[in-house]
Amino acid sequence: MSQLVTRPSGAIAVMENGPLVSAIVVTRDREAHLRECLGELMEQTVASRMEVIVVDAGSTQCEWAVVADLQQRYANLAALKLPSGAAARGINMALKMASGKYLTILDATDRLKRDAYEQLTAALEQDSAAMVAYGDTCFTAIAHESFANHTSYGKVIWPDYTPQQLSQLSEVAPHPLWRREVHDSVGYLPEGYPSHGLREFLLKVVQRFRIQHIAEFTGLKLIAVVPQSAPQQAPQPVEVRSTPTAAAQPATSPLKSEPVTAPLQSEPAPMPVTEPLPAAGAEDAYAALRPQLSGDDLEQAAAALRQHLASYPGHAVAHNDLAAVSYQLGYTDQALLHYREAVALEPDEDVYLKNLADLLYVDMGQTDEAINIYLKLLERSPRDVETLLNLGIICEGVGQPEAAESFLQRALEIEPANMAVRERLSELRQNASAPAAPATAATATTPAAAAEEEDDLTAEDHYLKSQELVNRGDLAGAEQKLQGIVALYPEFAPAYNDLAVLAYQKGDKDTARRNYEKAAALAPGNNTFQKNLADFYFVEGYDVDGAINIYLDQLRKEPLNIETLMSLGKICAILDRPEEAETFYGKVIHLEPWNRDARECLDTLKQAANS
């Protein structure tokens, strides 16, 4: 095979001691993305010490002309053009060409935080034993967005990789940076694997060396999703902090759902029945489908997914994605069938359950089953505001305003600044009140009448007005309003809680304590008020034993609450009770193996014990 290399003269001469970073940009038929990608790379904070090598693997578009044009402006831009199908070989050729102290690979559709390479190189400079550094990843479904300004479609906080973890994952952090000399020990990237063979390469590295995970979101990855803009939307993926086991499909579903305006004539034929292949190969086979799922041809995507499921009928994520595509094509029954199958295969995957519940409620009108699913989700995550909001909307829709108000009020207590919840709750309460007759000249509102109308407001109505003042930044007005509420309604706990928060912000800790205690006493079943009081007791050192008792009571109610477990672990560590602290941290890691805070706390305890 022939290849063509171009490099502007003097490219490396402008850098003392050679480049710090060599970035390999892989492109094939990505002309619309390449100029943006290279332009943003040249804006990296270490751009003056970077070398960028574009690998054009047989593109039929004009990427080569884009590179040639930009080479007139950037002396540190080189290019390698190869025939179609030679991408893997081209990447290794580029790595051998590279002059940087540190190397990395990215696709033309990827975008990076402006100081990503500065942070990654600093991590390796500070830790001479680490051979690879990587950060966490954001995802978007909308092309041509930047890291600084993008529409989130999920985030992945990657784990601190071990050989065992990497052997179980099909996808890994997409933008690692590694030392050039690592290739002397483990060789170059293997050919014929998805994602340029990064997983296989990192697996070889981690078996011999230490790799460094930094606690920063450094990269943005474009995933294969059909954009959607309708305000009322059908089942769709939600933004989640992905677990290591879900890293292969960030935000779970790479396809959103949207109704089509033109109905199609017929539904697809049933999938042919074939001898199922081993499930172990499902992820690799699915990864090979990504190009067919990335365009606007939904029929092609559906056909590819049906063919994939004929070979791998137990692949839940493919069922979820086929359901989403089927919905977009207007095949609601097919969508329901595959959402149910995804849930049956992986009943613990919350996103599949949510997609099914959304479809049942939005399109099928099966509110009872939808409510049951949402209640199951709420049982798993009692503080999930989105689930509470959905339950509130459904209950309001089926004529249960009291239940709707209960769910919405709980959501508002968890996230007081959530305007969507606040507006929904306000609208619900307004609809519940009788409409007032229009004022005439004879019945125009007078100051006395306005005062009487003010007296007719409930405590919740007054409280909403106080929150409006907070949102406008009028904290003094909000405090005055809240004091008026507790004068009129001395049993209204939320007002005391908010007065405590405002007092604490002003440094009036005695007033804050009294109001926190009052709110907790008036609403002993409100987890937020109880936790606020416990946090105050602990942070201010006022009543550590009282804080522990409150946390333990909360743990009895929610034994899987990560926040409570972490708080108890930190208290026990401070009180020199390392065995109990280790127990609490251990439970967190058991529930969330990727929880960086818990691992760091546990490592600190072990180091203290060893010393």
Residues 6 or more apart from 220 whose CB is under 8 A from it? 110, 111, 112, 113, 137, 138, 139, 140, 145, 146, 147, 150
> Of 347, 381, 415, which marks where a domain is finished?
381
Contact 100, 30 (CB under 8 A): no
Please say if the pLDDT value at position 386 is more than 60: yes
Contact 220, 147 (CB under 8 A): yes
Residues 6 or more apart from 250 whose CB is under 8 A from it? 137, 139, 153, 154, 155, 156, 221, 223, 242
Residue 134 lies in a domain: yes
Higher pLDDT, 422 or 16: 422
What distance in Å separates the CA atoms of residue 255 and residue 42, rounded to the nearest whole number?
32
Confidence category of residue 77, pLDDT binned at 50, 70, 90 = very high
Instruction: Examine the domain organization and report whether 194 and 340 are in the same domain.
Output: no
Going by C-alpha positions, the residue among 124, 103, 119 that lies closest to residue 219 is 119
Report the CATH number that the domain containing residue 350 is assigned in CATH.
1.25.40.10
Going by C-alpha positions, the residue among 144, 408, 355 that lies closest to residue 235 is 355
% of residues, the chain, pLDDT over 90: 16
pLDDT of residue 107: 92
Instruction: Examine the domain organization and report whether 179 and 297 are in the same domain.
Output: no
If you count them, how many residues does the chain have? 611
Instruction: Examine the domain organization and report whether 237 and 191 are in the same domain.
Output: no
Confidence category of residue 433, pLDDT binned at 50, 70, 90 = low
Instruction: Examine the domain organization and report whether 148 and 100 are in the same domain.
Output: yes
Instruction: Examine the domain organization and report whether 300 and 217 are in the same domain.
Output: no
How many Cβ atoms from other residues are within 10 Å of residue 254's Cβ?
26
pLDDT of residue 439: 44
Residue 445 lies in a domain: no
DSSP class of residue 276 equals P
Instruction: Examine the domain organization and report whether 139 and 236 are in the same domain.
Output: no
Report the CATH number that the domain containing residue 182 is assigned in CATH.
3.90.550.10
Instruction: Examine the domain organization and report whether 35 and 129 are in the same domain.
Output: yes
pLDDT of residue 156: 85
Residue 433 lies in a domain: no
What distance in Å separates the CA atoms of residue 212 and residue 185, rounded to the nearest whole number?
18
Q: List the domain range (segments joined by +) for residue 322.
A: 229-246+253-260+289-381
Going by C-alpha positions, the residue among 462, 491, 487, 459 that lies closest to residue 477 is 462
Residue 466 lies in a domain: no
Average pLDDT over residues 231-256: 34
pLDDT of residue 119: 96
Instruction: Examine the domain organization and report whether 148 and 174 are in the same domain.
Output: yes
Residue 45 lies in a domain: yes
Average pLDDT over residues 145-165: 85
Residue 354 lies in a domain: yes
Confidence category of residue 4, pLDDT binned at 50, 70, 90 = low
Most confident of 97-111, 278-292, 556-570, 582-596: 97-111
Please say if the pLDDT value at position 328 is more than 90: no
Average pLDDT, the chain: 78
Confidence category of residue 103, pLDDT binned at 50, 70, 90 = very high
Write out the two tokens for 185: 């020990």
Instruction: Examine the domain organization and report whether 359 and 327 are in the same domain.
Output: yes
pLDDT tens digits along 267-303: 444 443 334 444 447 777 877 777 777 666 788 888 8
Instruction: Examine the domain organization and report whether 334 and 191 are in the same domain.
Output: no
Q: Taking the CA atoms of the chain, what radius of gyration do you get in angstroms?
A: 28
pLDDT tens digits along 505-531: 888 888 999 999 999 999 887 878 888
Instruction: Examine the domain organization and report whether 242 and 106 are in the same domain.
Output: no
Instruction: Examine the domain organization and report whether 157 and 239 are in the same domain.
Output: no
Lowest mean pLDDT, pick from 105-119, 502-516, 588-602: 588-602
Please say if the pLDDT value at position 142 is more than 60: yes
> Of 381, 409, 436, which marks where a domain is finished?
381
pLDDT tens digits along 533-569: 988 888 887 788 888 889 888 888 888 888 888 888 8
Alpha helical stretches, state H, 331-474:
332-345, 350-362, 367-380, 385-397, 401-414, 419-432, 447-455, 459-471
Residue 503 lies in a domain: no
Residue 491 lies in a domain: no
State the total domains in the chain: 2
pLDDT of residue 121: 96
